[in-house]
Amino acid sequence: MVGSHGLLSASDSPKQIALARQCNEAGLAFFRFDHRGVGQSEGDFYKVTTLEARCEDLASAVRLMQGRDDTGNSVSLFGSSMGGAACLCAAQEFDLKALVVFAAPVRSAPVLEAAAGSAQTSREDLRFYKKSLNFDLSDRLGTLSNILIFHGDADEVVPPSDAEEIFLKASKPKKLIIQPGGDHQMNNPDHQKKFVIEAAAWFMGDA
């Protein structure tokens, strides 16, 4: 398993740590890493961050894991928010065993709109979003399969309709779980607990 964190997150996000622990207990290796410009990785966040760059990072992480003697060639992906978008991109490049995404945006327009409407978004941030994070992945969704999609119906950043669009266009096997009252960060402990159990089962092929 390889995990891809959200735009403003890092590999130490609570839900990714919890998922990695659950997978490890089930005997599955889980690789958490920091995308360029974030956490322990090098680079200026505003200069090196694009969806394309995130996809390249994720692909490199997958190849690293596939090159190990103790993990084998089989690979599954988990992505949260922008990490989910990176997984939607990278899925075409690899023969994935399974894919799990949470709050994955299909296109950047609603994300930019949410950022523009937030008092916490600086002018520098808004310029960055408009310049570096313009994308539309809707034409890639038909290639997806064996995908578990999580989304909160109260997500204030990425609309739940994105999850429904992914589910509609993806091929079977597929599963959509909408969390009632769920926000973009999955702050509800019960939501996170169910997510971890369901995601690990999907990776194991037991869902």
Domains, the chain, ordered by start: 2-204 (3.40.50.1820)
Cis peptide, bond prior to residue 14, ω within 30 of zero:
no
Q: What DSSP letter does each residue of 25-61 carry, written as one string?
A: HTT---EE-PPTTSTTS-S-HHHH--HHHHHHHHHHH
Residue in 139, 23, 7, 145 with CA at minimum distance from that of residue 83: 7
Q: Which pLDDT value is given to residue 119?
A: 73
Residue in 47, 40, 42, 49 with CA at minimum distance from that of residue 8: 49
Strand bridging mode 76-80 / 2-4:
parallel
pLDDT per position as a tens digit, 11-47: 999 999 999 999 999 999 999 999 999 999 999 999 9
Strand bridging mode 171-179 / 76-80:
unpaired
Residue in 86, 205, 89, 84 with CA at minimum distance from that of residue 141: 89
pLDDT per position as a tens digit, 174-198: 999 999 999 999 999 999 999 999 9
Residues of the chain with pLDDT below 70 are 207
Q: Which pLDDT value is given to residue 120?
A: 80
